[in-house]
Amino acid sequence: MKNPDASSARSIQGNKAVNLCKVVESKSAWLMVHFILDVLTVLVDVSQKFQLKTAVVSDILSEINMAVQNLQKLKTVDGPQLRNAYDKASPDLKGGVTAFTSARAKLVDALLAALQNRFTDSPEEILEACEVFSLVNFPTCKAETEGFITT
């Protein structure tokens, strides 16, 4: 255990606090936090689709494809949270947006690669294999069941 009164402990904690203040006061960090809120909005929609008890593979794949398209848009077009952040940014924020622009592109590229690697390798094959489970293909009335169901 370290003595909190020791000079080395105070300097390490002091350095951490100084660095945290620099990050909190930076314009890039302010913008990134709001950009992540826009990204999370897209990803939450995908997550909620997966969690539905009535989820169908085709619906999930459709939601993933929409998420990919929305993330690609967010790479260059500001979402609502980020637009709001630009409008409400304090003039006291320090630095430019170069670091944010670079980090924004890297984050979106990483998310797109993860989505495409995990879920969209061959969506057509997945859809064809799971089409039999779609409730849309089930009969809607007794007349449509003739020849299929024996009682």
For the chain, percent of residues with pLDDT exceeding 90: 31
pTM above 0.85, yes or no: no
For residue 109, pLDDT beyond 90: yes
For residue 5, pLDDT beyond 60: no
Tokens found for residue 60: 């999930």
Tens digit of each residue's pLDDT (9 = 90 or more) over 48-99: 988 888 877 778 888 888 999 999 999 999 999 999 988 988 888 888 888 8
For residue 134, pLDDT beyond 70: no
For residue 99, the model assigns a pLDDT of 87
Which amino acid belongs to residue 131?
Answer: E
Helices and strands, counts by H and E, the chain:
6, 0
For residue 122, pLDDT beyond 70: no
For residue 1, pLDDT beyond 60: no
| Closest to 42 measured CA to CA, from 65, 12, 13 | 65
Taking all residues of the chain, what is their mean pLDDT, rounded to a whole number? Answer: 79
For residue 32, pLDDT beyond 60: yes
Listed in sequence order, the residues at least 6 apart from 122 whose beta carbon sits closer than 8 Å to its beta carbon are: none
- Pair 51, 81: CB distance under 8 Å: no
